Amino acid sequence: MQLFLEAITDLTPGDECGRLFHGRGGRYPGSEHLCLDWFAPVVLLTAFKPLTPEELALVTERLQLRWQALGLALNLVYQYRAAGQTRTELIAGEIPEPHLASELGCRYQLHLLRGQNHGLFLDMRNGREWVMANSAQRKVLNLFAYTCAFSVAALKGGADEVVNMDMSKGALAIGKQNHLLNGLTAGARFLGHDIFKSWGKLKKLGPYDLLIVDPPSNQKGSFVATKDYLRLLRHLPQLLNPGAELLLCLNAPELDRAFLQSQVSDAAPELEFVKQLDNPPAFADRDPDRALKVLLYRYEGEPDSDTQ
């Protein structure tokens, strides 16, 4: 943990939420199991193997000293994840209620003590920024919408309409609150359905000019990338206007960019690869193929007669 402890002495959290230390990127030998995130005014320490009480006390002490030097009160949440289990506890200070994250001029509601899906995934910041910059006067479909951060970004960027679909109605309820937090009272639909049983409805509401696919990589009963990405991709072209763009996302360390590109080639060859979006610098990885993959595609096919 020495490199992690040394890094703490140089941390300077900003006004926006973001990752402060990314051990998972493999660039800090001995600290690969540790990550540190800033959701002002709370620090989230995540460990992917358990810390001993002595280690946790040492990290807390080092953070306390750094935060004191910055003139800040330390509010610290510790989360341990392993074997599908998550344990989360408040170690120091308090969490405001409501707890709101700030990013790119938008605000999002957080629930850090509810588990690993606490409301906003920081590694997708560049994706949301791209959507905000490329949504003007477009109809957007946001699949696996979760708490609808992409929808907020799209509407802030001038989208005409966003259709959000996710089978978790609880996540969508938070998504509705996120829209209200940002003064977005119109322009968004929230559909709590299983995507694989809803193609007819999605097609009826289309066609779309921008489509975002950000699924879980391995969530039983929802989506398993190795078997479900292919059958998902087969349906996408029929939902799109000619010239539409797609953001296809994959966050599975064991699956590389070539996996997703081959899935697209097999299931939807009419989609043309444009580029891969960079991840935020804070998420730099020794092996980029293990990190989040966000691929931009374009559809130049013919309009589907059933959606015109």
What would the pLDDT profile of 70-107 be if each residue is shown by its tens digit?
Answer: 999 999 999 998 767 789 999 999 999 999 999 999 99
Amino acid at 43: V
pLDDT of the residue at 82: 78
Q: Among residues 52, 51, 34, which one has the least CA distance to residue 43?
A: 34
Specify whether the backbone of 89 is left (phi greater than 0), alpha (psi in -120 to 50) or beta: beta
Cα–Cα distance measured from residue 264 to residue 236, given in angstroms and rounded to the nearest whole number? 10
Hey, CA dihedral for 93, 68, 62, 83, is it positive or negative?
Answer: positive
pLDDT of the residue at 307: 44
Contact 59, 91 (CB under 8 A): no
pTM of the model: 0.94
pLDDT of the residue at 219: 72
**Which whole-number Å values give the CA distances from 173 to 89, 104, 138, 261, 300, in the listed order?**
24, 22, 24, 33, 35
pLDDT averaged per 10 residues, the chain (length 308)? 93 95 94 96 95 96 97 97 84 97 97 90 97 98 97 98 96 97 98 95 97 88 88 96 97 94 97 98 94 96 59
Task: Give 297-308 pLDDT, tens digit per residue.
Answer: 999 887 665 544
Say which residues have a Cβ less than 8 Å from residue 53's Cβ, sequence separation at least 6.
none
What number of residues does the chain have?
308
Say which residues have a Cβ less than 8 Å from residue 113's Cβ, sequence separation at least 6.
77, 88, 89, 90, 95
Helix (H, G, I), strand (E, B) or coil at 248: strand
